[in-house]
Amino acid sequence: LSSVHEPLFAAYSTGHASELREALDDPKRFNIVQCAPVIRVSLAEEFGMPFGTLTPGKMASALRRVGFDRIYDTNFGADVTIMEEGTELISRVMSGEALPMFTSCCPAWVKHAETAAPHLLHHLSSCKSPMQMVGALAKTYGAKAEGVSPGDIFSVAVMPCTCKKFESSREEMTVDGYREVDLVITTRELAQLIKAKGIDFNSLPDEPFDSPLGLYSGAGTIFGATGGVMEAAIRTGYELVTHEALPDLQLEFIRGAEGIRTATVQLGDLELRVAIVAGLKYVHGILEQVSKGECPYHFIEVMACPEGCVSGGGQPKLLLERDRTAAYAARKASIYNHDSTLKIRKSHENPAIIQLYKDYLGEPLGEVSHHLLHTKFNSRSPKSSGMMSSP
Ligand code: SF4
């Protein structure tokens, strides 16, 4: 790293700069990186571009110049999540067990559930987050495809919040003895790293992500906005249940910024009742309903941040309220715009996902999937302890 800018990055990275530098400088390491959906709609703000400027190609290009050997994508993991979580939801709705099912991709929400409602942990989807799924697949499926040893892979994730650093360090987040994600840096830390390397971000050409773990659908990219996981799940769930194409992919009734939004979706004969929660203060009423057996919903998406990951704490810092409001709106609009321009907009139609199941996983919720992509949750309540698993 350039000595002029290094202190800048080190100040932001609280000691992670040297670990990352060591990995990038070691020719024996195979360094891979993945970026959350929202990084591509906020990173450019750190380089003076307008709020919400969409730069997936420049981001991939910058990461390659920083020294990563493969540019993978958390969006690919989001598509895998939909395959696993969607199948899990349909199976629970059919059996009537452990309903409602909560999403499990936001680590701040998961930790809150483990602390405040350990008796309800079996209601969480057993899916790991998209970040951990990509980490697990990179050290197994990806390692095999690249002909490298999992032990030589250094797996980095660029995320919108520091809570993802905690998630990657959870003891369950290992695969065959290897950490799935070795290091998490935030959007701001990536910007500092790019500056430290002396890379002129604004002049970079657009470059593609690497195959297969870097290919994603529009459904994968909308995970970054509140309601995105729900919308992506309905796009696939509708077709799995009805065997018909969803007439309109823009599910406007799911989108919005209110702390709680609810809807009923007709999937053939099934009336699926869903709720979206953005901000932990809104989840308590629902947890109380579930505890009393009075919750009317089948599926509930919970994100800890008020607008989902577009407003995560590791995103570019904005001091003024009016700037935050404008930035969140622009980042969300950019995410939905990116989705609408992609050729593949449903997770189950992503050719890289189809190939993954054909060549490696077999089927959603199958034996290999369970080993790599599902987990258990820990009670963190002082009143109880132990592991709780989803059915
Ligand atoms: Fe992190 Fe917030 Fe996104 Fe949760 S909603 S994963 S805390 S940025």
Give the start-to-end residue ranges of the domains of the chain: 6-376+384-389
Instruction: Give yes or no for residue 227 CB within 6 A of ligand 1.
Output: no
Q: Residue 7's pLDDT is what? A: 46
Residue 391 binned pLDDT confidence (cut-offs 50, 70, 90): very low
Q: Residue 12's pLDDT is what? A: 42
Average pLDDT, the chain: 91
CA trace torsion 308, 103, 304, 283 (10° rounding): 120
Instruction: Give yes or no for residue 37 CB within 6 A of ligand 1.
Output: no
Look at residues 84, 164, 110, 95 and name the one whose alpha carbon lies nearest to residue 132: 164
- Rounded Cα distance between 221 and 165, Å, is 21
Separation of CA 162 and ligand 1 centre (Å): 9
Q: Residue 315's pLDDT is what? A: 95
pLDDT digits (tens, 9 = 90+) for 142-184: 999 999 999 999 999 999 999 999 999 999 999 999 999 999 9
Q: Which residues are catalytic?
A: 85, 88, 105, 125, 164, 167, 172, 309
**E-strand stretches of the chain:** 30-35, 70-71, 101-102, 153-159, 174-175, 178-179, 183-186, 260-267, 270-278, 299-303, 306-309, 376-378, 387-389
Instruction: Give yes or no for residue 161 CB within 6 A of ligand 1.
Output: yes
Residues in the chain, total: 391
Minimal-distance CA residue to ligand 1 atom 6 = 106
Question: Residue type at 289?
Answer: Q
Minimal-distance CA residue to ligand 1 atom 1 = 161
> What's the whole-number mean pLDDT along residues 105-134?
96
Q: Residue 15's pLDDT is what? A: 58
Cβ distance 271 to 286 under 8 Å? no
User: Is the complex ipTM higher than 0.90?
Assistant: yes
Q: Residue 256's pLDDT is what? A: 79
In sign, the C-alpha dihedral spanning 282, 287, 292, 293 is positive
- Rounded Cα distance between 38 and 290, Å, is 31
- Determine the topology of domain 6-376+384-389 in CATH: Rossmann fold (3.40.50)
pLDDT digits (tens, 9 = 90+) for 241-282: 888 888 777 777 778 788 899 999 888 888 999 999 999 999
The residue behind tokens 């350990």 is: 118
pLDDT digits (tens, 9 = 90+) for 53-91: 999 999 999 999 999 999 999 999 999 999 999 999 999
Residue 49 binned pLDDT confidence (cut-offs 50, 70, 90): very high
DSSP state of 236: H
